[in-house]
Protein backbone atom coordinates (compact mmCIF):
# COMPACT_ATOMS: atom_id res chain seq x y z
CA UNK A 1 0.00 0.00 0.00
CA UNK A 2 2.80 2.39 0.91
CA UNK A 3 4.50 1.69 -2.40
CA UNK A 4 1.26 2.40 -4.29
CA UNK A 5 0.75 5.69 -2.37
CA UNK A 6 4.36 6.70 -3.05
CA UNK A 7 3.92 5.94 -6.76
CA UNK A 8 0.73 8.05 -6.91
CA UNK A 9 2.49 10.94 -5.16
CA UNK A 10 5.39 10.80 -7.64
CA UNK A 11 2.97 10.74 -10.60
CA UNK A 12 1.04 13.74 -9.17
CA UNK A 13 4.23 15.78 -8.71
CA UNK A 14 5.35 14.92 -12.27
CA UNK A 15 1.97 15.99 -13.67
CA UNK A 16 2.14 19.35 -11.88
CA UNK A 17 5.68 19.99 -13.11
CA UNK A 18 4.73 18.99 -16.65
CA UNK A 19 1.80 21.46 -16.73
CA UNK A 20 3.90 24.32 -15.39
CA UNK A 21 6.68 23.76 -17.91
CA UNK A 22 4.24 23.65 -20.85
CA UNK A 23 2.21 26.66 -19.69
CA UNK A 24 5.17 29.07 -19.85
CA UNK A 25 5.52 29.22 -23.64
CA UNK A 26 1.75 29.57 -23.97
CA UNK A 27 1.71 32.57 -21.63
CA UNK A 28 4.60 34.18 -23.48
CA UNK A 29 2.86 33.64 -26.79
CA UNK A 30 -0.34 35.27 -25.56
CA UNK A 31 1.59 38.23 -24.21
CA UNK A 32 3.33 38.68 -27.56
CA UNK A 33 0.04 38.64 -29.44
CA UNK A 34 -1.39 41.28 -27.10
CA UNK A 35 1.64 43.53 -27.57
CA UNK A 36 1.39 43.36 -31.35
CA UNK A 37 -2.38 43.53 -31.55
CA UNK A 38 -3.37 45.95 -34.37
CA UNK A 39 -6.29 47.17 -32.27
CA UNK A 40 -3.83 48.70 -29.80
CA UNK A 41 -1.73 50.46 -32.46
CA UNK A 42 -2.70 54.06 -33.21
CA UNK A 43 -3.66 54.64 -36.85
CA UNK A 44 -1.18 56.75 -38.80
CA UNK A 45 -2.58 59.67 -40.83
CA UNK A 46 -0.38 60.48 -43.85
CA UNK A 47 -0.54 64.12 -44.97
CA UNK A 48 1.23 65.19 -48.17
CA UNK A 49 2.38 68.83 -48.50
CA UNK A 50 4.79 70.33 -51.03
CA UNK A 51 7.64 72.66 -50.08
CA UNK A 52 8.39 74.81 -53.10
CA UNK A 53 11.23 77.29 -53.44
CA UNK A 54 10.12 80.80 -52.53
CA UNK A 55 7.08 79.64 -50.55
CA UNK A 56 8.41 77.21 -47.97
CA UNK A 57 6.94 79.38 -45.23
CA UNK A 58 3.54 78.31 -46.54
CA UNK A 59 4.29 74.62 -46.01
CA UNK A 60 5.68 75.33 -42.54
CA UNK A 61 2.58 77.28 -41.49
CA UNK A 62 0.27 74.55 -42.83
CA UNK A 63 2.18 71.84 -40.97
CA UNK A 64 2.25 73.93 -37.80
CA UNK A 65 -1.53 74.44 -37.88
CA UNK A 66 -2.23 70.73 -38.41
CA UNK A 67 0.16 69.58 -35.68
CA UNK A 68 -1.17 72.10 -33.15
CA UNK A 69 -4.82 71.20 -33.60
CA UNK A 70 -4.83 67.41 -33.32
CA UNK A 71 -3.86 64.56 -31.04
CA UNK A 72 -3.83 62.17 -33.99
CA UNK A 73 -0.73 60.26 -35.12
CA UNK A 74 0.14 62.35 -38.18
CA UNK A 75 2.98 61.48 -40.54
CA UNK A 76 3.90 64.38 -42.83
CA UNK A 77 5.23 63.62 -46.29
CA UNK A 78 7.02 66.83 -47.30
CA UNK A 79 7.67 66.79 -51.04
CA UNK A 80 10.33 68.98 -52.62
CA UNK A 81 12.84 69.23 -55.42
CA UNK A 82 16.43 68.17 -54.87
CA UNK A 83 17.61 71.78 -54.50
CA UNK A 84 15.01 72.75 -51.89
CA UNK A 85 15.04 69.70 -49.61
CA UNK A 86 18.01 70.75 -47.40
CA UNK A 87 16.34 74.09 -46.63
CA UNK A 88 12.98 72.67 -45.49
CA UNK A 89 14.65 69.92 -43.47
CA UNK A 90 16.83 72.45 -41.63
CA UNK A 91 13.79 74.68 -40.99
CA UNK A 92 11.87 71.85 -39.35
CA UNK A 93 14.75 70.43 -37.36
CA UNK A 94 15.69 73.85 -35.95
CA UNK A 95 12.23 75.00 -34.90
CA UNK A 96 9.43 73.83 -32.63
CA UNK A 97 8.35 71.52 -35.45
CA UNK A 98 11.27 69.21 -34.65
CA UNK A 99 8.78 67.06 -32.68
CA UNK A 100 6.68 66.14 -35.72
CA UNK A 101 6.90 62.82 -37.57
CA UNK A 102 7.93 63.53 -41.15
CA UNK A 103 9.57 62.14 -44.25
CA UNK A 104 11.12 64.32 -46.93
CA UNK A 105 10.40 63.00 -50.43
CA UNK A 106 12.20 64.17 -53.56
CA UNK A 107 10.03 64.74 -56.62
CA UNK A 108 11.74 64.19 -59.96
CA UNK A 109 10.39 66.74 -62.48
CA UNK A 110 11.56 64.55 -65.38
CA UNK A 111 8.29 62.59 -65.07
CA UNK A 112 6.59 65.70 -66.50
CA UNK A 113 8.78 65.94 -69.60
CA UNK A 114 6.62 66.48 -72.68
CA UNK A 115 3.42 66.67 -70.61
CA UNK A 116 3.18 70.39 -69.80
CA UNK A 117 2.23 73.01 -72.33
CA UNK A 118 4.20 76.21 -71.78
CA UNK A 119 1.92 79.09 -70.83
CA UNK A 120 3.39 82.53 -70.21
CA UNK A 121 0.32 84.09 -68.61
CA UNK A 122 0.92 82.45 -65.19
CA UNK A 123 4.24 80.60 -65.27
CA UNK A 124 4.13 79.90 -61.53
CA UNK A 125 1.29 77.43 -62.19
CA UNK A 126 3.64 75.31 -64.30
CA UNK A 127 6.03 74.61 -61.42
CA UNK A 128 6.65 70.84 -61.12
CA UNK A 129 5.35 70.53 -57.56
CA UNK A 130 1.89 71.66 -58.72
CA UNK A 131 1.58 68.19 -60.27
CA UNK A 132 2.67 66.13 -57.26
CA UNK A 133 -0.99 65.30 -56.55
CA UNK A 134 -1.08 63.35 -59.84
CA UNK A 135 1.60 60.96 -58.60
CA UNK A 136 0.53 60.14 -55.03
CA UNK A 137 0.93 56.32 -55.34
CA UNK A 138 4.51 56.75 -56.57
CA UNK A 139 5.41 58.85 -53.54
CA UNK A 140 3.38 57.10 -50.84
CA UNK A 141 3.86 53.34 -50.71
CA UNK A 142 2.42 51.85 -47.53
CA UNK A 143 -0.84 53.75 -46.89
CA UNK A 144 -4.34 52.90 -48.05
CA UNK A 145 -5.75 56.38 -47.45
CA UNK A 146 -3.88 59.69 -47.90
CA UNK A 147 -4.60 63.39 -47.43
CA UNK A 148 -3.09 65.83 -49.93
CA UNK A 149 -3.09 69.57 -49.12
CA UNK A 150 -1.93 72.59 -51.09
CA UNK A 151 0.68 74.58 -49.20
CA UNK A 152 -1.44 77.76 -48.99
CA UNK A 153 -3.87 76.34 -46.41
CA UNK A 154 -4.34 76.65 -42.67
CA UNK A 155 -6.07 73.86 -40.73
CA UNK A 156 -8.17 75.04 -37.79
CA UNK A 157 -9.91 71.73 -37.06
CA UNK A 158 -8.73 68.25 -36.08
CA UNK A 159 -7.21 66.61 -39.17
CA UNK A 160 -8.66 63.29 -37.95
CA UNK A 161 -12.11 64.56 -39.05
CA UNK A 162 -10.90 65.14 -42.60
CA UNK A 163 -9.17 61.75 -42.66
CA UNK A 164 -12.44 60.11 -41.60
CA UNK A 165 -14.17 61.38 -44.78
CA UNK A 166 -16.11 58.45 -46.28
CA UNK A 167 -15.30 57.54 -49.87
CA UNK A 168 -18.03 55.73 -51.77
CA UNK A 169 -17.16 52.29 -53.21
CA UNK A 170 -15.26 52.70 -56.47
CA UNK A 171 -14.20 56.29 -55.74
CA UNK A 172 -10.47 57.03 -55.71
CA UNK A 173 -10.79 60.51 -54.18
CA UNK A 174 -12.95 63.06 -52.38
CA UNK A 175 -12.96 66.80 -53.22
CA UNK A 176 -14.89 69.95 -52.39
CA UNK A 177 -17.51 71.07 -54.92
CA UNK A 178 -17.20 74.72 -55.94
CA UNK A 179 -20.98 75.12 -55.57
CA UNK A 180 -21.33 73.37 -52.22
CA UNK A 181 -21.42 76.30 -49.78
CA UNK A 182 -23.99 79.12 -50.18
CA UNK A 183 -21.84 81.37 -47.96
CA UNK A 184 -19.19 81.54 -50.69
CA UNK A 185 -21.52 82.32 -53.61
CA UNK A 186 -21.49 86.08 -53.01
CA UNK A 187 -17.68 86.05 -52.89
CA UNK A 188 -17.54 84.13 -56.18
CA UNK A 189 -19.89 86.58 -57.91
CA UNK A 190 -18.12 89.66 -56.52
CA UNK A 191 -14.69 88.79 -57.89
CA UNK A 192 -15.81 87.03 -61.07
CA UNK A 193 -14.54 83.55 -60.26
CA UNK A 194 -15.51 80.50 -62.27
CA UNK A 195 -17.17 77.52 -60.58
CA UNK A 196 -18.23 75.45 -63.60
CA UNK A 197 -16.43 73.34 -66.19
CA UNK A 198 -16.86 76.17 -68.71
CA UNK A 199 -14.30 78.14 -66.69
CA UNK A 200 -11.61 75.45 -67.04
CA UNK A 201 -12.05 73.65 -70.36
CA UNK A 202 -12.14 75.05 -73.90
CA UNK A 203 -15.51 73.93 -75.25
CA UNK A 204 -14.58 75.18 -78.71
CA UNK A 205 -12.38 72.07 -79.01
CA UNK A 206 -13.98 68.88 -80.31
CA UNK A 207 -12.13 66.68 -77.81
CA UNK A 208 -13.79 68.57 -74.95
CA UNK A 209 -17.26 68.47 -76.50
CA UNK A 210 -16.85 64.73 -77.09
CA UNK A 211 -16.60 64.20 -73.32
CA UNK A 212 -20.33 64.86 -73.07
CA UNK A 213 -19.92 66.99 -69.92
CA UNK A 214 -22.26 69.96 -69.64
CA UNK A 215 -20.30 73.23 -69.44
CA UNK A 216 -22.55 74.29 -66.56
CA UNK A 217 -21.44 71.31 -64.43
CA UNK A 218 -20.10 72.45 -61.07
CA UNK A 219 -16.31 72.18 -60.82
CA UNK A 220 -14.34 71.02 -57.78
CA UNK A 221 -11.10 72.18 -56.18
CA UNK A 222 -8.20 69.67 -55.91
CA UNK A 223 -6.29 71.70 -53.33
CA UNK A 224 -7.64 69.39 -50.63
CA UNK A 225 -7.88 65.68 -51.48
CA UNK A 226 -8.70 62.57 -49.48
CA UNK A 227 -7.50 59.71 -51.67
CA UNK A 228 -7.85 55.92 -51.69
CA UNK A 229 -4.56 54.55 -53.02
CA UNK A 230 -5.95 51.10 -53.89
CA UNK A 231 -8.65 52.56 -56.14
CA UNK A 232 -6.24 55.14 -57.55
CA UNK A 233 -3.87 52.43 -58.71
CA UNK A 234 -6.65 50.06 -59.82
CA UNK A 235 -8.21 52.74 -62.02
CA UNK A 236 -4.80 53.89 -63.29
CA UNK A 237 -5.67 57.48 -62.38
CA UNK A 238 -2.11 58.73 -62.89
CA UNK A 239 -2.01 57.31 -66.45
CA UNK A 240 -5.37 58.91 -67.24
CA UNK A 241 -4.18 62.30 -65.99
CA UNK A 242 -0.98 62.03 -68.03
CA UNK A 243 -3.00 61.21 -71.13
CA UNK A 244 -4.96 64.46 -70.84
CA UNK A 245 -1.81 66.44 -70.10
CA UNK A 246 -0.26 65.14 -73.32
CA UNK A 247 -3.43 65.85 -75.31
CA UNK A 248 -3.37 69.42 -74.00
CA UNK A 249 0.21 69.82 -75.22
CA UNK A 250 -0.96 68.76 -78.69
CA UNK A 251 -4.40 70.41 -78.84
CA UNK A 252 -4.45 73.22 -76.21
CA UNK A 253 -7.62 71.96 -74.51
CA UNK A 254 -7.32 74.09 -71.39
CA UNK A 255 -5.30 77.08 -70.33
CA UNK A 256 -4.24 78.90 -67.19
CA UNK A 257 -6.04 81.95 -68.59
CA UNK A 258 -9.32 80.10 -68.09
CA UNK A 259 -9.71 78.63 -64.61
CA UNK A 260 -6.38 79.82 -63.30
CA UNK A 261 -4.72 76.44 -62.99
CA UNK A 262 -3.48 73.82 -65.43
CA UNK A 263 -3.34 71.15 -62.73
CA UNK A 264 -7.09 71.34 -62.10
CA UNK A 265 -8.41 70.71 -65.60
CA UNK A 266 -7.11 67.14 -66.11
CA UNK A 267 -8.57 66.18 -62.73
CA UNK A 268 -11.96 67.66 -63.67
CA UNK A 269 -11.98 65.40 -66.73
CA UNK A 270 -10.70 62.20 -65.11
CA UNK A 271 -12.80 62.42 -61.94
CA UNK A 272 -16.03 63.71 -63.50
CA UNK A 273 -18.95 61.94 -61.78
CA UNK A 274 -16.56 59.63 -59.91
CA UNK A 275 -15.63 61.31 -56.64
CA UNK A 276 -16.95 61.68 -53.11
CA UNK A 277 -17.53 64.98 -51.31
CA UNK A 278 -15.60 66.62 -48.49
CA UNK A 279 -17.48 68.49 -45.78
CA UNK A 280 -17.69 72.10 -47.11
CA UNK A 281 -16.34 73.56 -43.87
CA UNK A 282 -13.18 71.55 -44.47
CA UNK A 283 -12.31 73.64 -47.52
CA UNK A 284 -13.17 77.33 -47.31
CA UNK A 285 -11.36 78.74 -50.31
CA UNK A 286 -10.86 81.82 -52.51
CA UNK A 287 -9.17 83.79 -49.71
CA UNK A 288 -6.39 84.63 -52.15
CA UNK A 289 -8.56 85.61 -55.09
CA UNK A 290 -8.85 89.33 -54.31
CA UNK A 291 -6.91 91.77 -52.10
CA UNK A 292 -10.19 93.37 -51.05
CA UNK A 293 -12.99 90.76 -50.82
CA UNK A 294 -13.29 89.38 -47.30
CA UNK A 295 -15.38 86.80 -45.46
CA UNK A 296 -16.98 87.57 -42.10
CA UNK A 297 -14.77 86.87 -39.10
CA UNK A 298 -17.45 84.64 -37.53
CA UNK A 299 -17.65 82.50 -40.66
CA UNK A 300 -13.86 82.10 -40.78
CA UNK A 301 -13.68 81.15 -37.10
CA UNK A 302 -16.14 78.30 -37.75
CA UNK A 303 -14.16 77.03 -40.75
CA UNK A 304 -12.06 73.89 -40.34
CA UNK A 305 -9.66 74.67 -43.20
CA UNK A 306 -8.83 77.96 -44.96
CA UNK A 307 -7.35 78.07 -48.46
CA UNK A 308 -5.72 81.15 -50.00
CA UNK A 309 -6.04 79.89 -53.58
CA UNK A 310 -5.49 82.70 -56.07
CA UNK A 311 -2.76 85.28 -56.64
CA UNK A 312 -2.86 87.07 -53.28
CA UNK A 313 -1.02 84.89 -50.77
CA UNK A 314 -0.98 85.60 -47.01
CA UNK A 315 2.82 85.74 -46.85
CA UNK A 316 2.83 88.46 -49.52
CA UNK A 317 1.25 91.90 -49.79
CA UNK A 318 -1.51 92.78 -50.51
CA UNK A 319 -3.62 89.93 -49.11
CA UNK A 320 -6.57 89.41 -46.77
CA UNK A 321 -7.06 87.62 -43.43
CA UNK A 322 -3.28 87.45 -42.97
CA UNK A 323 -3.66 87.41 -39.16
CA UNK A 324 -5.30 83.96 -39.32
CA UNK A 325 -2.38 82.65 -41.37
CA UNK A 326 0.36 84.35 -39.36
CA UNK A 327 -0.88 82.71 -36.14
CA UNK A 328 0.75 79.50 -37.40
CA UNK A 329 3.80 80.83 -39.21
CA UNK A 330 7.22 79.90 -37.79
CA UNK A 331 10.10 82.20 -38.86
CA UNK A 332 12.86 80.70 -40.98
CA UNK A 333 15.92 80.02 -38.76
CA UNK A 334 18.17 80.66 -41.78
CA UNK A 335 16.51 84.01 -42.51
CA UNK A 336 16.06 83.21 -46.21
CA UNK A 337 12.25 83.30 -46.20
CA UNK A 338 10.75 86.63 -45.14
CA UNK A 339 7.18 87.86 -44.99
CA UNK A 340 6.27 90.76 -47.26
CA UNK A 341 4.41 93.43 -45.28
CA UNK A 342 3.55 97.10 -45.91
CA UNK A 343 6.19 98.25 -43.41
CA UNK A 344 8.89 95.76 -44.45
- Could you report the per-residue pLDDT of 57-87, keeping only the tens digit for each? 999 999 999 999 999 999 999 999 999 999 9
Residue range 208-266, pLDDT digits in tens: 999 999 999 999 999 999 999 999 999 999 999 999 999 999 999 986 555 556 899 99
pLDDT tens for 139-191 read 998 999 999 999 999 999 999 999 999 999 999 999 999 886 666 666 666 55
Check if the beta carbon of residue 124 is closer than 8 Å to that of residue 260: no
In sequence order, the 6+-apart residues with CB closer than 8 A to the CB of 11 are none
- Secondary structure letter of residue 42 according to DSSP: P
How many other C-beta atoms are found inside a 10 Å radius of the C-beta of residue 24?
9
pLDDT confidence of residue 262: 82
Q: Is the per-residue pLDDT at 1 higher than 80?
A: no
Residue 10 has what pLDDT? 59
What sign does the CA torsion over 43, 49, 51, 55 have?
Answer: negative
Q: How do residues 105-148 score in pLDDT, each as one tens digit?
A: 999 999 999 998 776 556 666 789 999 999 999 999 899 999 99
Domain ranges of the chain: 45-185+220-246+275-327
Say which CATH architecture domain 45-185+220-246+275-327 belongs to: Alpha-Beta Complex (3.90)
Please state the rounded mean pLDDT for residues 270-298.
93
Amino acid sequence: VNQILLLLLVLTVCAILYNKVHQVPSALKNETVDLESPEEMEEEIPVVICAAAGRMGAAVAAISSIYSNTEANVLFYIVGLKTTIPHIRKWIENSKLKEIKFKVVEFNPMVLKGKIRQDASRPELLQPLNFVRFYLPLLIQKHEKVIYLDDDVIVQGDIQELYDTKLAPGHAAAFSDDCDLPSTHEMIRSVGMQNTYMGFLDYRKQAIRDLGISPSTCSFNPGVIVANMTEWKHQRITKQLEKWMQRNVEENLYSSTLGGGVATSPMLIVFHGKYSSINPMWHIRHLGWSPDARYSEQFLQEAKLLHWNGRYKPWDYPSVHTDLWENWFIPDPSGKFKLTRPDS
